[in-house]
Amino acid sequence: MREVYLDNSATTPVLPEVAAVMHKIHTDTYGNPSSLHRMGVEAEKIKRRARRTLADACSVKESEIYFTSGGTEANNLAVMGVARRLRRRGLHLVTTQVEHPSVLYACRLLEQEGFALTYLPVDREGIVSPAAVADAMRADTLLVSVMHVNNEVGAIQPLAEIGALIKKNNSETLFHVDAVQSFGKLPVQPLLWQADLVTFSAHKLHGPKGVGALYKRQAVHMEPFFHGGGQEDGLRPGTENMAGIGGFAEAARLATAKLSAHALALSKLKKNFSAGILAAIPDICWNSSEEGAPHILNISVAGTRGEVLVHALAEEGVYISTGAACHSRRPELSHVLLAMGRKEKDVEAALRFSFSPLNTEEALVYALEKLQAAVLSIRRVTRR
């Protein structure tokens, strides 16, 4: 059977070049970077080079990149690490209603610890208003956390405007950005955004699962989660996932080298696929806008249930999702679509197609054909 993987926001395949780098680390340069001998020195060099690659990709300093076990850990660390460390300075944090659960649930835990949280609403496109961020800020606001690209609908937040307003209001308030979905597809610009903390995860850009990074501006202090051997400046101790780090850097290098070409290709895929849906399937509710990220398209197909369509398409070899991967096992309604004011039955009918530069126009034509057929047969049954 033909297979078309359109769930690249959940995770992506590791590129052969990336796997080759990882294999070499596993077999040749397998030393512990903390060791003093040559094997250790070689490993340390790989790590330093990887750090530089990531730093260069977003124009920050090498010393400001910290490796973690993934996006979840980096988000948790950023939000909880800052709040706990700066507790004496204030107790208020601002975020949005559409963040990834690794930010939202960290915020909820902080509420239990006595912090006050503001969860900002979004408009019908999933965008948070910069003015609303500014209005929500209090004198004791420690941190504002807003994601770059939303993982379910692809909405792009106006980070430069938000960052400028935050810093204008209170230069001490820190700004965290979850850039897990945008890194490698759109320019990630901590300096332009005036962001103090930025989260990355390798497996969304054809790197390995289980490795991520946190950009932390030098002057920012935070509490680590773990204690141990002092790795990553003590912010994230533990023997490094060396192959993962090397693979992450290679994936980042490849993605950023072709950033604009990829973005263009992805936009074209998304545009043509959307046009195809519009022409072939009536009664679609669009949850992603044209201005959104080029690799995510979220629609609700009236009269269907998302989960049913995901399964029906999987049987035809077309792999998509109803929204965030970590939600998919629970029949929970998407908090993102609800925040965007979608009706419950549209939320239940949501589908997410997410593209990668590895997808072809031709594969998408195939996917559209299968989608159209599946929708038709489901509607035939349910609309009787």
Active-site residue set:
326
Closest CB to ligand PLP among residues 4, 78:
78
Q: Can you tell me the distance from the alpha carbon of 238 to that of 230, in angstroms, rounded to the nearest whole number? A: 8
> Do 133 and 144 meet the contact criterion of CB atoms below 8 Å apart?
yes
Find out whether 152 and 334 touch, Cβ atoms under 8 Å: yes
- Among 89-97, 153-161, 272-280, 316-324, which window interacts with another protein (CB under 8 A)? 316-324
Instruction: Tell me which of 64, 73, 152, 196 binds another protein, using CB under 8 A.
Output: 73
208 binds, among another protein, ligand PLP, none (CB under 5 to 8 A by kind): another protein
How far is the C-alpha of 163 from the C-alpha of 22, rounded, in Å?
A: 36
Minimum CB–partner distance for residue 280 and another protein (Å): 22
Shortest Å, Cβ 373 to ligand PLP: 30
For residue 96, the partner it binds in another protein, ligand PLP, none, with Cβ less than 5 to 8 A by kind, is none
Q: Which token pair is 338?
A: 């609800």
When binding is defined by CB under 8 A, the residue of 21, 22, 127, 186 that contacts another protein is 22
Q: Which does 242 bind (CB under 5 to 8 A by kind): another protein, ligand PLP, none?
A: another protein
From the list ligand PLP, another protein, none, pick the one residue 39 interacts with, judged by a Cβ distance below 5 to 8 Å according to partner type: another protein
Strands 350-354 and 296-301: antiparallel
286 binds, among another protein, ligand PLP, none (CB under 5 to 8 A by kind): none
The residues of the shown chain that bind ligand PLP, judged by CB under 6 A, are 70-72, 75, 100, 102, 147, 151, 178, 180-181, 201, 203, 212, 229, 238-239, 325-326
Distance between CA atoms of residues 4 and 350, nearest Å:
19
State the minimum distance, in angstroms, from the CB of residue 95 to another protein. 13
76 lies in the binding site for another protein (CB under 8 A): yes
Cβ-proximal residues to 82 (8 Å cutoff; 6+ apart), any chain? 142, 143, 174, 176, 197, 220, 222, 223
Closest CA to 252 of 328, 326, 185: 185
Smallest separation (angstroms) from another protein to the CB of 81: 12
Give whichever of 234 and 282 is closer to ligand PLP, judged by the CB atom: 234
Taking contact as CB under 8 A, which single stretch among the options 52-60, 156-164, 190-198, 223-231 is the one that binds another protein? 223-231
Q: How many residues does the chain have?
A: 384
Residue 31 interacting with another protein (CB under 8 A): yes
Q: Which is nearer to ligand PLP, 22 or 277 (CB)?
A: 22
Residues 320 and 304 sit within 8 Å (Cβ to Cβ): no
How far apart are CB 70 and ligand PLP at their closest, in Å? Answer: 3
3-class DSSP assignment, residue 229: coil
Rg (CA), the chain: 21
Q: Which is nearer to another protein, 95 or 169 (CB)?
A: 95
327 binds another protein (CB under 8 A): yes
178 makes contact, choosing from ligand PLP, another protein, none, with CB < 5 to 8 Å by partner type, with ligand PLP
| Alpha carbon distance 130, 94 (integer Å) | 12
Name the phi and psi angles at 301, rounded to 5. Answer: -100, 105
Q: Does 227 bind another protein (CB under 8 A)?
A: yes
**What is the smallest separation between the CB atom of 46 and another protein, expressed in angstroms?**
12
Find the DSSP H helices in the chain: 16-27, 38-57, 71-85, 101-112, 130-136, 159-169, 190-193, 242-257, 259-280, 306-315, 335-339, 344-348, 361-382
